[in-house]
């Protein structure tokens, strides 16, 4: 990666293809365990209320799980479900031996204590990686936890690109608990020099222009343009936004950085598909820990 030489063509990092590879890996691993007489891994999804976007996300997760041979158990609860009722549902799933992963779809209705629900999920089945135990494990560099699916997917894309992260400067724009902070931890674990930028950061363009890797996780339409990217940098765009034309777009102006970035993820078709794929991988990891059948796929998970 050179600072001076602009890339003539920016490689498109195909998240759809990469996600398909991960799904295949999980499907093969599940089939292999079945041939050894083990049960199928189980993923429980819990949807409270009728938010249409959440319903679509859950449906896609269930479909992907089933496609990989994972048993999908779904609980659909009415919008007026109380925190206590949801906690009871989670408690039952915690002790269900056929369930390896529990996913409570967010956001929850306003009257439900979201934090209470997330900490009630047993960390061993917290395949979203949101439980404080798993957050701490990641921050401390301890193995045996779960990493949130979106940053895990971003890391996998970088790995698939063959990037050696050690010593590179990575700027993560955004500091949310589900994307920015865990992304920064993962990059730090790989010996990148990591800067986290957020809404109070001054001179953002100057900062990102010094980055070999830019991860954008903001949620603002095409806020990073040509002036934000160093020639030869790799750009991972987590943002999912609706542009003025009504079409989905990222936090990065993909067209504007052509010929500048070495490689970049498009939106859609970049990070998005990886999130579900990594959920399957986390579920398999959980299953392997529960059944004591670790393999190369599971060992790869940080």
In the complex with ligand NDP, the residue whose CB is nearer, 123 or 180, is: 180
**Cβ proximity of 242 and 248 under 8 Å:** yes
4 is catalytic: no
**Helices 15-35 + 149-160 axis angle, to 10:** 100
Binders in 252-271 for ligand NDP, by CB under 6 A: 271
Question: Which residues in 39-78 are b (16+ Cβ under 10 Å) and which e?
Answer: ebbbbbbbbbbebeebeebbeebbebbeebbbbbbebebe
Whether the CB-CB separation of 192 and 165 falls below 8 Å is answered with yes
Element (H, E) at 195: strand 193-197
Task: Identify the residue among 6, 49, 67, 219 touching ligand NDP (CB under 6 A).
Answer: 219
Between 186 and 204, CB nearer to ligand NDP:
204
Q: How far is the CB of 217 from ligand NDP (least distance, A)?
A: 4
- Active-site residue 105, yes or no? yes
| Minimum CB–partner distance for residue 34 and ligand NDP (Å) | 29
Q: Judge whether 222 counts as a catalytic residue.
A: no
- What is the distance between the alpha carbons of residues 145 and 166, in angstroms, rounded to a whole number? 23
Query: Is 183 near ligand NDP (CB under 6 A)?
Result: no
Q: Which of 183, 218, 278, 301 binds ligand NDP (CB under 6 A)?
A: 218
C-beta closer to ligand NDP: residue 102 or 271: 271
Residue 226 near residue 197 (C-beta atoms within 8 A): no
Q: Which residue in the set 36, 143, 200, 202 belongs to the binding site for ligand NDP (CB under 6 A)? A: 200
Q: Which of 48, 157, 204, 263 binds ligand NDP (CB under 6 A)?
A: 204
CB of 274 to ligand NDP, least distance (A): 7
Sign of CA dihedral 153, 159, 161, 164: positive
- Closest listed residue to residue 129, CA positions, set 289, 26, 293, 282: 282
Choose, by CB under 6 A, the member of 89, 120, 171, 173 that binds ligand NDP. 173
Measured from the CB atom, is 102 or 217 closer to ligand NDP? 217
Is there a contact between 23 and 278 (Cβ–Cβ < 8 Å)?
no
What is the contact mask toward ligand NDP in residues 80 to 119, using x (rule: CB under 6 A)? Answer: ----------------------------------------
Sheet holding 42-48, edge to edge: 71-77, 42-48, 101-104
Query: How far is Cα of residue 148 from the mean position of the Cα atoms in its chain?
Result: 5
Q: Should residue 15 be labelled a site residue for ligand NDP when binding is judged by CB under 6 A?
A: no
Q: Counting Cβ atoms within 10 Å, is residue 211 exposed (0-12), middle (13-18) or buried (19+)?
A: buried
Omega cis (within 30) before 271: no
User: Binder to ligand NDP among 123, 151, 174, 182 (CB under 6 A)?
Assistant: 174
Annotated catalytic residue within 100, 125, 126, 128 = 128
28 is a site residue for ligand NDP (CB under 6 A) = no
Among 54, 83, 122, 201, binds ligand NDP (CB under 6 A): 201
Contact residues for ligand NDP (CB under 6 A)?
150, 173-176, 178-180, 197-201, 204, 217-220, 238-241, 271-272, 275
């Amino acid at each position: 990666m050179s600072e001076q030489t602009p890339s003539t063509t920016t490689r498109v990092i195909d998240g759809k293809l990469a996600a398909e590879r991960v799904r295949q890996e999980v499907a093969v691993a599940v089939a292999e365990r079945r041939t050894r007489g083990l049960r199928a891994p189980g993923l429980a999804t819990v949807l409270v209320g009728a938010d249409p976007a959440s319903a679509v996300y859950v449906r896609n997760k269930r479909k992907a799980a089933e496609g990989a041979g994972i048993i999908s158990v779904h609980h659909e609860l009415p919008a007026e479900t109380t925190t206590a009722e949801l906690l009871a549902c989670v408690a039952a799933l915690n002790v269900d031996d056929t369930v390896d992963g529990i996913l409570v779809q967010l956001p929850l209705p306003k009257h439900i204590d979201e934090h209470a629900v997330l900490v009630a999920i047993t960390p061993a089945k917290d395949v979203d990686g949101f439980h404080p135990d798993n957050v701490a494990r990641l921050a401390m560099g301890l193995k045996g936890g779960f990493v949130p699916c979106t940053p895990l997917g971003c890391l996998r894309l970088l790995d698939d690109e063959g990037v050696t992260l050690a010593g590179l400067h990575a700027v993560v724009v955004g500091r949310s608990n589900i994307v920015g902070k865990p992304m920064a931890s993962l990059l730090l674990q790989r010996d990148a020099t990591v800067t986290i930028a957020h809404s109070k950061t001054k001179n953002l363009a100057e900062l990102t222009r010094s980055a070999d890797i830019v991860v954008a996780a903001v949620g603002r339409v095409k806020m990073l343009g040509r002036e934000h990217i160093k020639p030869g940098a790799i750009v991972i765009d987590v943002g999912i936004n609706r542009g003025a034309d009504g079409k989905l777009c990222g936090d990065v102006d993909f067209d504007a950085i052509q010929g500048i970035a070495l490689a970049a993820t498009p939106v859609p078709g970049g990070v998005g598909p990886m999130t579900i794929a990594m959920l399957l991988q986390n579920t398999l990891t959980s299953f392997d820990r529960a059944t004591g059948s670790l393999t190369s796929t599971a060992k790869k998970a940080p």
